[in-house]
Amino acid sequence: MNKRQTEYLYAAVVLIVLTAAAIVNLGYVVGHTSNIPQPENNSAVPANSSVIQVLGYQWAWQFTYSNNTTTTDVLYVTAGHEYTLQVQSRDVIHDLLIPSLGVQVYAVPDHPNQVSFEPEKAGKYIFECVEYCGEDHYLMRGYMVVSP
C-alpha cells in the first residue's frame, strides 16, 4: 500500500464514521421535534401532554401547573405522562437542565421556549440552571419528584 492509498483509506474511514454519526443524529432530530426546544409561538403543544409554565429568575425556578398551583425549586410530575415545559425568564438568560432525562431548554427573556418530555421511572432527580446568571447561579437548582 503506498502513501496515497493509505491517505485515501484513513480519509474514507473518517468520512464513513462521521457520516454515519451525522445520519443517526439527523434521524433523531427529525423524529423527536417536540423534544427539542423551540419557540413557543410556532409549535403546537403535543396532544395528551400537560403544560407546565416555568419561570426562571435570579435565582430560582418557579413552576406553575395546569391547576394553577405553583412550586419553587421543586417540580412534581407523574411517571408515564407527557409534560410540556413552557419556559420563560424574568431577567437574564437561564438554562434549565434535567440531566437524567436529557431535557435542556434556555429561558430567554421575551422568547418563551417549549419542550416536551415524558418521565418514565419514579424517583427524585436533580435539575439545575446551567447558564451562568449572576452571583447565586449555583443555588438555582432543585429536585424533580416523579411519582409513580
Partner 1 sequence: MSTETMLILVGILVGVVSVAIFYVYYLVSTRIETISNVAEEEGYPDRTVFIRDSLYGKPRPLSWSILFYDDAKSIGLRYIFTGLLFMFIGGAFGVLMRISLTDPNPTIISPTIYNILLTQHATIMIYMFAIGMAMGFAYYILPSRLRLKRDNMGHLSSVAYWMWVLGGTLFVLSKSSMRWYMYPPLSLQLTPFGAGAYNWLAVIAMELIFMGMVMASVIVLKIIFIDRADDIPLSQMPVYGWAVVFTLVMLVSSAPPLMVGLGMLFYDFFNPIFFVTSTSTPLAFAILFWFWGHPIVYIAVIPFFGLMYDIITRFTETKVYSYFSAVLSLGLLLILSELVWGHHLLNSGLGVDWVIFFTTASFIVVIPSALTIFNMIATLWTAKKIRLTTPMLFVINAIFDFIIGGIMGVMLADDPINQAVHGTYFVTGHFHFIFVGLTLGVSMAAFYLLFPTFSNGRVYDERLAKWHFYITAVGSFLMSFSWAVGGFLGMPRAVAGYFAYFQPYQDSAILGGVIIGIGQLVFLYNIAKSWSTEPATDPYNILEYRTETNQVMGGGK
Partner 2 sequence: MALRNGGTTFTLIVVIVIAMAFGYILTSGGSSLYPTSTQYSAMKYSANINMWADANGWELKQGPAATSYDIKATNLINPILYYKADTLIYFNITEADGAPHDFTICYDGSNTSTLFSTITSGPSSIYSNPTKWENTGASYTIISVSQLTQNIGHTASSKYPFEKPGIYTYWCTVHPTEMYGLIIINGASSSS
DSSP code at position 82: E
CB of 106 to partner 2, least distance (A): 21
CB of 18 to partner 1, least distance (A): 5
Bridge-partner residues for 72, per DSSP? 62
Q: Which positions from 85 to 124 touch partner 1 by CB under 8 A, shown as an x/- string? A: ------xxx-x-x-xx-xxxxx-xxxx-xx----------
Using an 8 Å Cβ cutoff, are 98 and 19 in contact? no
Using an 8 Å Cβ cutoff, are 111 and 39 in contact? yes
Tell me which residues in 118-147 interact with partner 2 (CB under 8 A): 136, 139
DSSP code at position 40: G
Residue 66 touches partner 2, criterion: CB under 8 A:
no
For partner 1, the closer CB: 63 or 117 = 117
Using an 8 Å Cβ cutoff, are 95 and 105 in contact? yes
| Contact of residue 62 among partner 1, partner 2, none (CB under 5-8 Å per partner type) | partner 2
- Cα–Cα distance measured from residue 126 to residue 103, given in angstroms and rounded to the nearest whole number: 12
Q: Interface with partner 2 by CB under 8 A: which residues?
A: 60, 62, 70-72, 136, 139
